[in-house]
Amino acid sequence: VPEETIDSRHFRTVLGHFPTGVTAVTAIDEGKPVGMAVGSFTSVSLDPPLVAFLPARNSVTWARIRRAGQFCVNILSASQLDLCGTMASRSDEKFTACSWRQGVTGSPIIDGALAWIECEIDAVHEAGDHDIVVGRVLALEADTEGSGTPLLFFRGGYGAFDGGNG
């Protein structure tokens, strides 16, 4: 099937049937916290410990994260829907409505995140209009004591996890 028969709206609709969590990928660029909402996060390798996310090649925030060379993946909780909207916006002040601290890489760890994974950029692979960013994990922690549930994204809308925690 020639690829020009794949309509982009149809592509988005069909791929939107794959549910994802939502993360905020953050970094410190020239002294300023930067971040973007990212659904395309996945673990990649255990040995060595690698994770990945896929930013749009034209993302302004990705250019800043790339310049920083290090980043933190904050896994958002269902109570962080507003923060998700802020992180997906074009705002220059995405960190005024949340509290955060700096991890070992200096990248912002956002209070209330279910878990966070600090990385240095290991490799960047071009893939169409996106990049595949592979991060080597330097530190990570989860709020294992907490009862927080994840923010989920499915068919263009948000939801919460409706199940037990094991």
Ligand X SMILES: Cc1cc2nc3c(=O)[nH]c(=O)nc-3n(C[C@H](O)[C@H](O)[C@H](O)COP(=O)(O)O)c2cc1C
97: closest CA among 115, 111, 107?
Answer: 111
Q: Which stretch binds ligand X (CB under 6 A): 35-43, 100-108, 114-122, 142-150?
A: 35-43
- The distance of closest approach from Cβ of residue 58 to ligand X in the complex, given in angstroms and rounded to an integer, is 7
Neighbours of 36 (CB within 10 A): 23
Residue type present at position 27:
A
Structure tokens at 56: 């749009």
Using DSSP's 3-state secondary structure scheme, residue 45 falls into strand
Q: Please say which residue, 98 or 145, places its beta carbon nearer to ligand X.
A: 98
Give the H/E segment covering residue 13: helix 8-15
| Choice between 93 and 104, CB closer to ligand X | 93
Q: Which of residues 146-165 bind ligand X (CB under 6 A)?
A: 153
Contacts of ligand X in 39-78 (CB under 6 A): 39-40, 54-56, 59-61
| Strand 151-154 relative to strand 157-160, pairing | antiparallel
Decide: is 38 part of the binding site for ligand X (CB under 6 A): yes
Q: Which residues bind ligand X (CB under 6 A)?
A: 22, 36-40, 54-56, 59-61, 84, 87-88, 90, 153
